Amino acid sequence: MSRKIIVSITGASGAIYAKVLLDKLLTIRDQWETVGVVMSDNAKDVWQYELKNDGYRLYPFTFYERNDFYAPFASGSAKFDTMIICPCSMGTLARIAQGISSDLTSRAADVILKEKRKLILVPRETPLSLIHLRNLQAVAEAGAIICPASPSFYSLPPDFEALAATVVDRVLGLAGLEVGGYEWGEPTSHG
């Protein structure tokens, strides 16, 4: 298995989605070769604010600075196959939609799109302005997958992390990774 995956965490609300994503990637260590993580300054701030810790520092992935254009996935030659931006702020979405590669996340997304590889955006914003909608349309037309952070309730998730996992499991499935989350039609753990 030689999957090379970029995880970008931006400063939208929903740090719990990023935490559950990183946790789940650790549980499927046999399914990927490399996971590179980049966080914006606001992503770190929102993580601290919403989760009351700086636990992102403890993950055994390779972390890159937000302006490190020497990171391997700043170039198509490094052949990272999938990029997940979770959660994705409207600012980052706009930079990608307009091709403004002013930080590592927007540059890496630009590379993924031009190389026709898999880009998955997990926006949380609500409601959406016409600007947001146009930017979402532009990135979808360029080949990105939009997987909104819209949790589902039919598995009767018992806590916030389980609720967040209903989104993250869909994201990982779209990335072609097997996590064995709840599938519609299965009995729930609550009867």
Ligand X SMILES: Cc1cc2nc3c(=O)[nH]c(=O)nc-3n(C[C@H](O)[C@H](O)[C@H](O)COP(=O)(O)O)c2cc1C
31 or 67, CB closer to ligand X?
67
Report how far Cα 84 is from the mean position of its chain's Cα atoms. Answer: 3
Total residues at interface with ligand X (CB under 6 A): 16
Residue 40 binds ligand X, judged by CB under 6 A: yes
Rounded CA separation 64/70 (Å): 9
Question: Which residue's CB atom is positioned nearest to ligand X?
Answer: 11
> Using an 8 Å Cβ cutoff, are 5 and 175 in contact?
yes
Q: Closest Cα partner for 161 from 18, 30, 27, 9?
A: 18
Binding mask 87-116 toward ligand X (x if CB under 6 A, else -) reads: --xxxx------------------------
Stretch of 38-46, 54-62, 151-159, 162-170 lying at the interface with ligand X (CB under 6 A): 38-46
Residue 155 touching ligand X (CB under 6 A): no
- Comparing CB distances to ligand X, the nearer of 43 and 164 is 43
119 binds ligand X (CB under 6 A): no
- Which CB sits closer to ligand X, 33 or 45? 45
Task: Determine the Cα angle at 139 with ends 126 and 163, to 5°.
Answer: 40
Is residue 149 close enough to count as binding ligand X by CB under 6 A?
no
Integer Cα distance of 112 and 141 in angstroms: 14
DSSP state of 159: S
Long-range Cβ pairs for the range 73-78 (8 Å, 24+): 73/4, 73/6, 73/36, 73/108, 73/111, 73/112, 74/104, 74/107, 74/108, 74/111, 75/111, 76/111, 76/114, 76/115, 78/4
Pick from 5, 6, 11, 169 the residue near ligand X by CB under 6 A. Answer: 11
Judged by CB, which is closer to ligand X: 49, or 69?
A: 49
* Out of 5, 6, 7, 12, the residue judged to bind ligand X by CB under 6 A: 12
Tokens encoding 115: 């190389």
Residue 151 engages ligand X in binding (rule: CB under 6 A)? no
**Which is closer to ligand X, CB of 26 or CB of 140?**
140
Q: Which residues bind ligand X (CB under 6 A)?
A: 10-13, 40, 42-43, 45-46, 49, 89-92, 124-125
